[in-house]
A = this chain, B = another copy of it.
Amino acid sequence: MAVTASTVAETCLAAKRAAGQLAALPSGAKNAALEATAAALILRTPEILEANARDLEAGREAGLSDALMDRLALDTGRISVIARQVRDIVALPDPVGEVIEGRRLYNGLEVRKVRVPLGVIAVVYEARPNVTIDAAALCLKSGNAVVLRGSSTAAASNAVLAEVAIEAGLSAGLPEGAMALVAGGGHEELAELATQAGAIDLIVPRGGEGLKAALKGVATVPVMYAASGNCHVYVDATASLPDALAITLNAKVQRPSVCNAAETLLVHEAVADEFLPTVLGELAAAGVELRGDARTRAAAESAAAVAPATNEDWATEYHALTLAVGVVGSVAEAIEHINRYGSGHSEAIVTRDTEAARAFQLGVDAACVYVNASTRFTDGGEFGMGAEIGNSTQKLHARGPIGLRELCTFKYLVEGVGQVRA
């Protein structure tokens, strides 16, 4: 298959050539390619399912866990969701060409800062085959060429999904090389991809810590690390306790496997005795395993079983129904704890005190800082940015949801009538 026949370096150079043409494509042409992709996904569903069945069989033979098998599996419903998400991206505004700011200078020069594509984006991802389409659609809409590298467990599914998208794109007039899938799940290929400086402008890993660590060691091209989230809910002395209860339960229990779920609850000592028995009881009833400091364990009384928390607990993103709980003496102590152990993702205070709210928002060093709301809202869709390719806890370029705009850079366009510098 043509998709996988080239070497990594050749694929990246072809993508770079395509990127120049993609950057100049109007929204209509990009949207037409996305529409063609969505239609082809539905039309070619049987072929996709057949490839997926081969991956699933290989996965069963290799003894993949139920969770991994579930992430790998496609069915007609899931494919139609993937197609719908492509159409959702069609509906988003095109970030390319947006004038971020502009002015006329003292000498008459007209300066515009205009959003443009980054160029070539490599997306490296693990089991879920839907990322093949999702990432390709986001990159295309933002005017970037994309080089995809999935995991070997989903090799057959990814190959056919990429083929569907590539063929639909070509039929709608996209340049050759605008999308490509590099085969092979080995670390050597990852290293080759991560060192194509001059051809690849950005690598986005979507996967676990192992993948990120593998990239960190070898990458010479810029990497945007999707975040781990060690998120906190802090219940202040003046909090509305019903709000605090609802927010804590939502942040921990609603979807514990995601990066914006809470991993630690901090409670001001003034409300610890009143709040903790209730919240710990409800958390335990929801199946949450609790680990607390001494004051938490004392306050819990008979409401719930609370194991002793270690320093490691404060630093852990459980990704599961486990919560660390601590009592603090002040909002300053809460901020200090969060800045020490947090991963800079999403942090919430529940308070009715404007001074505490302000101090928390100023003092907490994180992508998203909430007052009286659940950390679970950190999401491109929720923020009105549309689909996202991940969440960044980096401080440079993108922080928080990585949406279409964050897959772009900008350039200054300057127009004159012969001006020279004095």
B-binding residues in A (CB < 8 A) = 20, 23-24, 103, 105, 109, 111, 118-119, 201-202, 222, 224, 240, 242-243, 246-247, 249-251, 254, 339, 357, 361-363, 365-374, 376-378, 382-384, 394-397, 399-400, 409-421
B370 touches A396 (CB 8 A): no
A383 touches B421 (CB 8 A): no
B377 touches A247 (CB 8 A): no
Q: How far is the CA of A202 from the CA of B253 in the complex (A)?
A: 36
* Among A103, A365, A376, A410: residue with most chain B CB under 10 A: A365
Number of copies: 2
A362 cross-chain contacts in B, Cβ below 8 A: 23-24
Q: Which of B224, B250, B357, B421 contacts A250 (CB 8 A)?
A: B421
B246 touches A420 (CB 8 A): yes
A372 touches B119 (CB 8 A): no
Q: How far is the CA of A411 from the CA of B415 in the complex (A)?
A: 33
B254 touches A372 (CB 8 A): no
A367 touches B412 (CB 8 A): yes
B382 touches A399 (CB 8 A): no
A103 touches B397 (CB 8 A): no
A421 touches B382 (CB 8 A): yes
B250 touches A371 (CB 8 A): no
The 8 closest A-B pairs by CB, nearest first: A373-B416, A250-B420, A243-B418, A376-B421, A395-B409, A396-B397, A397-B397, A368-B412
Q: Which of B369, B409, B417 contacts A411 (CB 8 A)?
A: B369
Residue of B nearest to A396 (CB): B397
Q: How far is the CA of A362 from the CA of B363 in the complex (A)?
A: 42
* Chain A interface main SS type: mixed
Within the complex, the shortest CB–CB distance from A182 to chain B, in Å, comes to: 22
A369 touches B413 (CB 8 A): yes
A366 cross-chain contacts in B, Cβ below 8 A: 411
B247 touches A368 (CB 8 A): no
Residue of B nearest to A255 (CB): B421
* Among A240, A366, A417, A420: residue with most chain B CB under 10 A: A420
A103 cross-chain contacts in B, Cβ below 8 A: 384
Q: Which of B109, B396, B400, B409 contacts A377 (CB 8 A)?
A: B109
B24 touches A420 (CB 8 A): no
Q: How far is the CA of A368 from the CA of B111 in the complex (A)?
A: 9
Interface CB pairs A-B, < 8 A, 11: A105-B384, A366-B411, A369-B413, A369-B414, A372-B415, A372-B416, A373-B415, A373-B417, A374-B419, A377-B414, A382-B421
Q: How far is the CA of A243 from the CA of B415 in the complex (A)?
A: 13
Given contacts A361-B413, A371-B414, contact A419 B377 (CB under 8 A): yes
Within the complex, the shortest CB–CB distance from A262 to chain B, in Å, comes to: 11
Within the complex, the shortest CB–CB distance from A384 to chain B, in Å, comes to: 6
| Further 4 A-B residue pairs, CB within 8 A, beyond A368-B411, A399-B409 | A23-B362, A23-B365, A202-B395, A374-B421
Within the complex, the shortest CB–CB distance from A330 to chain B, in Å, comes to: 15
B119 touches A395 (CB 8 A): yes
A373 touches B24 (CB 8 A): no
A357 cross-chain contacts in B, Cβ below 8 A: 415
Given contacts A254-B421, A365-B119, A418-B246, contact A105 B397 (CB under 8 A): no
Q: Which of B361, B369, B372 contacts A418 (CB 8 A)?
A: B372
Q: Which of B119, B361, B373, B412 contacts A369 (CB 8 A)?
A: B412
